[in-house]
Amino acid sequence: MSMTPHTAAQPRPPVAVPTLPQSGDALATTGTEPLLPAFRDGDSLFASPGAYLHARGVRQALRQSVSEGLIEAGRQALTDSGGERRFLPLIGAVPFSPEDPACLWIPEQIVLAPGRSQSPPPIDSQRGMAVALAPRMQPVPEPQRYRRNVADALARIADGTLEKVVMSRSLQISSEVSIPALLGALRSRNPNGYSFAMDLACAGTQGRSLVGSSPELLLSKRGGRIVSNPLAGSIPRAADPMEDQHRAQALLVSAKDRHEHAYVVDAVARALRPWCSGLDVPVAPSLLATPTMWHLSTEIGGRLHDANASALAIALALHPTPAVCGHPCAEARALIERIEGFPRGLFTGLVGWCDAQGDGEWAMSIRCAEVGRDGATIYAGAGIVAGSDPDAELAETTAKMATMLQAIGLAPTLEGA
């Protein structure tokens, strides 16, 4: 399986939908058929420009936290499953806090397919919209408190305690959400992103999944090569093409956003250098577009000292980057825990997979929601640095929530309520 992006293929005629192996059969299968129509309750899927990975069942679950030896537990789990004839990875999600338990597991069954060899999957019309009824939406924290949180963060920056901190908020939706329909909508809207639906049953949360479409690759590893693509510095997109381009160019030359971006790139490069014999760090960022946002982006590439190093171990050496926490990290995390107003859980953690050879992909769990039969909680954050404005940061988080709200079938308001 190639971990490097491929050029987009021409759309192909419909082909038969694959079925996963029978229960108890741990052998992997490969194919080029679209996997999403085979998705059912309890399944998990991670789709990137390089590969689709569709998993079913739990063979061995890991609930250790990073601070309790998660890396070694993951290595042992992959070793224990090494007697199988084919590919069985470790998949799932790791939370923002190193003290919280991860939700990782070796699946019973896997279907693996190339990524860009497929056209984006359509929304299943038989399953309808992602949300069944007009829901109640409750922002946590409320918009006014979020503005106060940003102001408090700016005060800590002004007094020299911090240089950057990411302030987040959430939106609780009280209506049943269809995970397959939501995942299909996310993939259709942004086929170049990192889309995922990770079942949380191994965390003791039956009927809930972490679902999202992240634009940010924390780490991809294939053999001795790694890539990380940190994002920091953002602006909402505009419907008018001329205004949209104006915003993109303004972001590219914004001193505030370039300063914020530099924190993240420097931190990622510093964390990767001990693992690498060579590292390529572009001197200036480029623009990356999603359907709702423009981002400053820098793709960092490296050659590893050890081609067998674990993608999970390297990703956790990067986590959390200033893109989701702040700088200095310890002080930023302390402020987040004190004033943000809700537990982040898996939001701003990492989501993806790795195998026994150490290869894998881990994306940042942003532009995501925890989704279940009784509703969903959507998350979004914004980086606060000197010069940030509370109203602008509130609007940025609302624009970021639009990724999930539009896929669910709801339009956001400025206040996100």
Q: Is the pLDDT score of 143 beyond 60? A: yes
Q: For the ranges 120-124, 152-156, 187-191, 284-288, which has the lowest average pLDDT?
A: 120-124
Q: Identify which of 59, 61, 34, 56 has the alpha carbon closest to the alpha carbon of residue 45.
A: 56
User: DSSP label at 40?
Assistant: -
d(CA 345, CA 258): 29
| pLDDT at residue 10, as a whole number | 31
| pLDDT at residue 176, as a whole number | 83
Report yes or no on 18 lying in a domain.
Answer: no
Q: Is the pLDDT score of 35 beyond 90? A: no
**Catalytic position from the list 72, 84, 142, 216:** 216
Residue 122 burial (C-beta neighbours within 10 Å; 0-12, 13-18, 19+): middle
| pLDDT at residue 411, as a whole number | 66
Q: For the ranges 149-163, 323-337, 343-357, 400-414, which has the lowest average pLDDT?
A: 400-414
Residue with tokens 């505009």: 238
Q: What does the pLDDT look like over 373-409, one tens digit per residue? A: 888 999 999 999 999 999 999 999 999 999 999 998 8
- 3 state DSSP class of 48: coil
pLDDT class of 13 with cuts at 50, 70, 90: very low
**Catalytic position from the list 163, 164, 260, 393:** 164
Report yes or no on 163 lying in a domain.
Answer: yes
Q: Mark whether 216 is an active-site residue.
A: yes
Q: Is the pLDDT score of 30 beyond 80? A: no
Q: Mark whether 370 is an active-site residue.
A: no
| pLDDT at residue 36, as a whole number | 66
What percent of the chain is predicted at pLDDT more than 90?
70
- Centre a 10 Å sphere on the Cβ of residue 76 and count the other Cβ atoms it contains: 13
- The radius of gyration of the chain from alpha carbons, rounded to an integer in Å, stands at 20
Q: What does the pLDDT look like over 61-118, one tens digit per residue? A: 999 999 999 999 999 999 888 754 457 899 999 999 999 999 999 999 888 887 654 4
Question: Looking at the DSSP assignment, which residues form a beta bridge with residue 335?
Answer: none
CATH of the domain at 47: 3.60.120.10
Q: Is the pLDDT score of 45 beyond 90? A: yes
d(CA 408, CA 16): 27
- 3 state DSSP class of 361: strand
Residues 6 or more apart whose Cβ sits within 8 Å of residue 211: 179, 182, 183, 186, 196, 197, 198, 368, 369, 370, 371
Report yes or no on 284 lying in a domain.
Answer: yes
Q: Identify which of 138, 92, 154, 152 has the alpha carbon closest to the alpha carbon of residue 362.
A: 92
d(CA 325, CA 348): 8
Inter-residue contact 251 to 296 (CB < 8 Å): yes
The tokens for 296 are 């400053």
d(CA 384, CA 396): 11
Give the domain extent around 175: 28-118+137-408
SS3 content of the chain, % helix, strand, coil (to 5): 30, 30, 40
- Centre a 10 Å sphere on the Cβ of residue 35 and count the other Cβ atoms it contains: 22
Task: Give strand ranges (E) for 174-230.
Answer: 194-199, 208-214, 217-222, 225-229
pLDDT class of 273 with cuts at 50, 70, 90: very high
Report yes or no on 10 lying in a domain.
Answer: no
The tokens for 27 are 């052998």
Report yes or no on 417 lying in a domain.
Answer: no
- Count how many domains the chain has: 1
pLDDT class of 239 with cuts at 50, 70, 90: very high
Report yes or no on 415 lying in a domain.
Answer: no
Q: What is the average pLDDT value for the chain, to the nearest integer?
A: 86
Q: Which contacts (CB < 8 Å, 24+ apart) does range 149-154 have?
A: 149/339, 149/340, 149/341, 150/382, 150/384, 150/388, 150/389, 150/390, 150/393, 150/394, 151/390, 152/335, 152/339, 153/335, 153/339, 153/384, 153/388, 154/384, 154/386, 154/388, 154/390
| pLDDT at residue 11, as a whole number | 31
- 3 state DSSP class of 154: helix
Question: Looking at the DSSP assignment, which residues form a beta bridge with residue 376?
Answer: 173, 371
Inter-residue contact 3 to 361 (CB < 8 Å): yes
| pLDDT at residue 3, as a whole number | 32
| pLDDT at residue 115, as a whole number | 66
Residues 6 or more apart whose Cβ sits within 8 Å of residue 172: 137, 138, 139, 140, 375, 376, 377
Provide the angle, in degrees to the nearest 10, between the axes of the packed helices 143-158 and 329-339: 150
Q: Is the pLDDT score of 413 beyond 50? A: no
| pLDDT at residue 184, as a whole number | 87
| pLDDT at residue 83, as a whole number | 53
- Where is pLDDT greater, at 353 or 128? 353
Residue with tokens 């309790």: 68
pLDDT class of 24 with cuts at 50, 70, 90: very low
Q: What is the mean pLDDT of residues 33-38?
A: 62
Residue with tokens 């195998």: 355
Q: For the ranges 263-272, 295-304, 338-347, 371-380, which has the lowest average pLDDT?
A: 371-380
Report yes or no on 225 lying in a domain.
Answer: yes
Report yes or no on 52 lying in a domain.
Answer: yes
d(CA 155, CA 151): 6
